[in-house]
Structure 1
Amino acid sequence: MAYEVKGVVARSKGAPVTVETIIVPDPGPGEAVVDVQACGVCATDLHYREGTITDQYPFLLGHEAAGTVAAVGAGVTNVAVGDFVILNWRAVCGQCRACLKGELQYCFNTHNAAQQMTLTDGTALSPALGIGAFTEKTLVHSGQCTPVDPAAPATAAGLLGCGVMAGVGAAINTAGVRRGESVAVFGCGGVGDAAIAGAKLAGAATIVAVDIDDRKLEWARRFGATHTVNSKATDAVAAVKAATGGFGADVTIDAVGHPAVFEQAFYARDLAGRVVLVGVPAPDMTITLPLLEVFGRGGAIKSSWYGDCLPSRDFPMLVDLYRQGRFPLEDFVTEAIGLDDVEEAFDNLRRGEVLRSVVVLDK
């Protein structure tokens, strides 16, 4: 029997979102229905609403979510009804060329549910990142469900589903920050602050936060920044070098995804340092760098996909660290809101007033 639930829908480019009745089918083979308890409001959802990712409207928004498995389809063995799970958009296939090389974190053929959720008139919905979790129930592939300790609050745990994991993973997985190293993070929103927290967790000795908003720089200090730089008032490259003995940082992370910011990150690193891009650029953005500088500085330039995470490995680990008081997951939650408040949350996100608004679903 299909479920009728409320969900947040973006019907057309730039139009305000609406709360509508969603039809969620019973799970088919390999699928699961999840009772969503909480879902973060991420910039990616705003990009879907504004049509900068794809134009396959209408969208069922939301993807940074945690909840309880309500039903599973035939052949599902990795989760069971009642499991507390974080949803992810990297349900590894196990068969593509990346998986066969043992690099599951780069899976090129991740799974989504085969069936579609719809509006009451039968119109098929495109779920954001294959999840669609601004809703009371959602249908996903069972591999998109990662069981974690149910003692973790859903409001915090769900944020690992995208932004927090992207930032932490950029520092730990992609950059491979080591004890005693220096790190500079450019852009101190949710992803950037997660990268700072990840660098601290890895044992970085110096962590420089760079942003143009003093309020965000204060947030960055809470997550472990040892130095802050307002790049509106100060040359960011010079300031990072000054904080690192004149050499530049061992690791620089661009959490903005803008050519000017990436160039700052490139020149603010030490020789043989690592530059990581985790901020998502717009499709029309380009960058030009002197090839001799790329060669002469050595090191590595890397892109970080979803923090190069493996959900089955990284989600439980980070939840456990949070439960031990070693990772400040709850500090990313600025406010709890309802489904009707998502459009206002997008406005707050644009203005940089929140790290994360989290939609809480009443059960």
Structure 2
Amino acid sequence: MGPTTEPTVNDGLPKKMRALQYSKPRDFKVVEIDMPDLGEEDVLVKISACGVCGTDLHFHEGEFMAKFPLIPGHEAAGVVVAIGRRVTTVAVGDRVVADPMEPCRSCFYCVRDQGLLCENMSGYGGTVPGGMAEYCRYPARHVYPIGDLPSLEAVLIEPAACASHGIERMSPKVGSTVLLFGCGPTGMLLAQLLRQNGAANLTIASKGGPKLDLARQLDLADSYVCISDDNPSEDMKAIKTANPHGFDIVVEATGASSVLEQSIFYVRKGGTLVVYGVYDDAAKVAWPPSRIWTYEITVLASFCSTLKFPVVLEYVKTKKLNLKGIVNKTYRIEEWAECLEAVRKQQVVKAAIVFD
């Protein structure tokens, strides 16, 4: 959509802005670029904070739909500072979050109401400029008011939207037993939603460290298994001993193909394995078909989300989703290399880039 000549703006907007920009995989720097053009159905958001997740590590490597030059950032929150002349849903001054996924609405899958599978998907922070910049342009239909929700909690709305899509995909039956491998930020959100949507008994299995510590602190599960680096096989064996029939649902949310490969052996007869993590493009797994066949195991995946922000905001509004404390480290865009390394080494629970 071309720029309009009649945007509604705040006085004093700059002509240039700072942004974190990749010219190619692994090659990034902070640059000064022109402010985005504003279409008649667009809004301009001054970014307050933008969450960092494992997907950003894949973008860094040029994977997962990355299109260069690239301004990353798909978990953004900020303040509307300008609107196109046809925008009526938000106003200048509104604090908002932005849904980063934009289906084309005309491909084979979109016209069959499967927008998440769009063949021409645009992703803010993946294929079009995202929230690792002082300002970002979004279609007005992609932003949602958040009132006084703190920015460092608001950046979790996007991963929570992914979790809500996962809940719909797996459709837990009331009284389900669930094993969740991994308790990263998205796993923490998924755990909360699972316990409110059918999971009567939830076990979290994860490496020790700040993430598992916070999961315990937030009381996210009914039991916890710490998978040690020294003897992980014994810890995994203990899960089977305590649950000889396995679990109705096993969710692999670590993004480690080795864990995914073993997860099938924790699914009970008639149960479901959920492929939830984000894996390297080159990753492979090998499962015995006889196990899937004789146990009648359902294997399904949950990829990202679209149109789930309103659902998540209902949970937030009614205080059924606890977002406090998950973001525990903030960085400026000039500290991106340090931030990436901390995320890669799992030294933080959740990192965010901040501008305010």
- Give the shorter-chain TM-score range: 0.7 to 0.9
Is structure 2 residue 61 aligned with structure 1 residue 41? Answer: no
Match of 1:165 in 2: 161
How far the C-alpha of 1:107 sits from its partner, in A, is 4.9
Whole-Å separation in 1 of the counterparts to 2:295 and 2:214: 32
> Does the aligned pair in 1 maintain the 2:71–2:128 contact within 8 Å?
no
Report the AA paired with residue 208 of structure 2: D
Map 1:221-236 onto structure 2 (within 5 A).
Answer: 221-223=216-218, 224-232=220-228, 233-235=231-233
Match of 1:119 in 2: none
The DSSP-based 3-state class of the residue aligned with 1:33 is strand
Q: CA deviation digits over 1:207-250, x for unaligned, max 9?
A: 21122334432233234122222334344654333444x21111
CA spacing shift, 1:150–1:93, aligned 2, 3 Å? farther
Map 1:1-363 onto structure 2 (within 5 A).
Answer: 3-15=15-27, 17-53=28-64, 56-73=67-84, 75-104=86-115, 106-110=117-121, 127-128=125-126, 130-145=128-143, 147-161=144-158, 163-170=159-166, 172-223=167-218, 224-232=220-228, 233-235=231-233, 237-244=236-243, 246-306=244-304, 308-321=305-318, 324=319, 326-362=320-356
How far the C-alpha of 1:290 sits from its partner, in A, is 1.8
How far the C-alpha of 1:353 sits from its partner, in A, is 1.4
> Does the aligned pair in 1 maintain the 2:316–2:322 contact within 8 Å?
no
CA spacing shift, 1:129–1:58, aligned 2, 3 Å? closer
Whole-Å separation in 1 of the counterparts to 2:118 and 2:94: 25
The DSSP-based 3-state class of the residue aligned with 1:174 is helix
Root-mean-square deviation (CA), in Å?
2.7
How far the C-alpha of 1:352 sits from its partner, in A, is 0.8
Whole-Å separation in 2 of the counterparts to 1:98 and 1:75: 28
How far the C-alpha of 1:312 sits from its partner, in A, is 4.5
Match of 2:4 in 1: none
CA spacing shift, 1:74–1:103, aligned 2, 3 Å? same
> Does the aligned pair in 1 maintain the 2:47–2:134 contact within 8 Å?
yes
Identity of aligned residues (%): 26
Whole-Å separation in 2 of the counterparts to 1:350 and 1:132: 21
How far the C-alpha of 1:304 sits from its partner, in A, is 0.4
Whole-Å separation in 2 of the counterparts to 1:148 and 1:252: 34
Whole-Å separation in 2 of the counterparts to 1:131 and 1:251: 37
Report the AA paired with residue 240 of structure 2: K
Report the AA paired with residue 41 of structure 1: V
How far the C-alpha of 1:302 sits from its partner, in A, is 0.9
CA spacing shift, 1:99–1:7, aligned 2, 3 Å? same
Match of 1:123 in 2: none
Whole-Å separation in 2 of the counterparts to 1:298 and 1:229: 27
Whole-Å separation in 1 of the counterparts to 2:119 and 2:146: 28
> Does the aligned pair in 2 maintain the 1:70–1:82 contact within 8 Å?
yes
CA spacing shift, 1:46–1:259, aligned 2, 3 Å? closer
Report the AA paired with residue 95 of structure 2: F
Match of 1:124 in 2: none
How far the C-alpha of 1:272 sits from its partner, in A, is 1.3
How far the C-alpha of 1:84 sits from its partner, in A, is 2.6
The answer for unaligned runs of 5 or more in structure 1 is: 114-126
CA spacing shift, 1:302–1:226, aligned 2, 3 Å? same
TM-score (norm 1): 0.83
> Does the aligned pair in 1 maintain the 2:24–2:68 contact within 8 Å?
yes
Whole-Å separation in 1 of the counterparts to 2:103 and 2:24: 31
Report the AA paired with residue 156 of structure 2: L
CA spacing shift, 1:148–1:175, aligned 2, 3 Å? farther
The answer for unaligned runs of 5 or more in structure 2 is: 1-12
Q: CA deviation digits over 1:12-47, x for unaligned, max 9?
A: 4334x4322121233124332111111112222232
Whole-Å separation in 1 of the counterparts to 2:90 and 2:127: 20
> Does the aligned pair in 2 maintain the 1:86–1:158 contact within 8 Å?
yes
> Does the aligned pair in 2 maintain the 1:105–1:310 contact within 8 Å?
no
TM-score (norm 2): 0.84
